[in-house]
């Protein structure tokens, strides 16, 4: 049970990045920058990641896409992983949906998940409310990790599975975990771990169940300022990884999928106005 559930949620993870051609040898190599995952909402598959992975803030408070060449890397049932450009998805009329609240660091886009993919979607009914979480609850998160998870050499999208504990519940439908995160981990799915027992005819088995609770929005570094004694200006900012990371809870995710913008796009997909590739 444990292995099958863990394998399933591992297959929901995608890597996000681009393919660059090396000018010295002409070889095309992936350049991964973040993590994402697949969910299923009313029969339609969607890809989810942190909003700051896709967008940057511009003057006036708006958003613009950072990189038009970003792709989602997924495993195939046969052959090497495939890179699906987001710009191809957008040609169908589909688009990224974010929340108007700038504190909600989540972006979601519909994704056509064909039978050729060796991937699964997280079912939203397998999520857990933030009210049911308490400090010191165990969580796991699945991420791309630089230098350890290379699609080209691994020949697969194979996330690192890490564990942590809830360190604090915030008032903005987010929480902090005692767990290290690094560049490339943004957008990783987070699951709570629940112990349960299954009694058989001969013995009792300890099982662990996983419930979707949110996604990694980034690490929370400690900063120390070096200030010029002559001018009083900040000259250097030193940062250290505190081992604490912020998670956008599933309630933030549900706010997006209940928004008018999302519901309109969802309706256009169902009506055939948007035909995903």
Residue 225 in contact with residue 237, Cβ under 8 Å? yes
pLDDT score, position 19: 86
The domains located in the chain, with CATH, are 2-270 (2.40.10.120)
| Per-residue model confidence (pLDDT) at position 208 | 78
pTM for this prediction = 0.88
Reported as a single tens digit per residue, the pLDDT across 19-38 is: 886 656 556 678 899 999 99
pLDDT tens string 88-104:
999 999 999 999 888 89
């Amino acid at each position: 049970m444990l292995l099958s559930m863990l394998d399933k949620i591992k297959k929901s993870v995608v890597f996000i990045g681009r393919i660059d051609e090396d000018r010295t040898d002409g070889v095309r190599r992936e350049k991964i920058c973040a993590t994402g995952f697949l969910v299923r909402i009313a029969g339609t598959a969607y890809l989810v990641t942190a909003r700051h992975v896709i967008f940057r803030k511009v003057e006036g408070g708006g958003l613009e896409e950072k990189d038009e060449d970003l792709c989602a890397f997924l495993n195939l049932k046969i052959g090497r992983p495939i890179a699906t450009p987001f710009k191809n998805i957008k040609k169908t009329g589909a688009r990224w949906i974010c929340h108007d609240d700038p504190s909600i660091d989540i972006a979601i886009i519909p994704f056509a998940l064909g039978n050729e993919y060796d991937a699964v979607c997280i079912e939203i009914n397998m999520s857990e409310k933030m009210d049911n979480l308490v400090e010191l609850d165990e969580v796991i998160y699945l991420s791309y990790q630089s230098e350890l998870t290379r699609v080209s050499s691994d020949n697969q999208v194979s996330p690192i599975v890490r564990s942590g504990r809830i360190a604090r519940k915030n008032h903005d439908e987010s929480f902090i975990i005692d767990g290290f995160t690094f560049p490339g981990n943004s957008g990783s799915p987070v699951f709570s771990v629940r112990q349960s027992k299954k009694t058989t005819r001969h013995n009792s088995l300890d099982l662990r169940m996983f419930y979707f609770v949110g996604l990694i929005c980034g690490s929370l570094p400690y900063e120390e300022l070096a200030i010029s004694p002559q001018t009083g200006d900040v000259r250097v900012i030193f940062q250290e990884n505190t081992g604490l990371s912020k998670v956008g809870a599933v309630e933030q995710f549900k706010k997006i999928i209940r928004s008018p913008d999302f519901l309109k796009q969802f309706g256009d997909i169902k009506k055939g106005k948007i035909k995903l590739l």
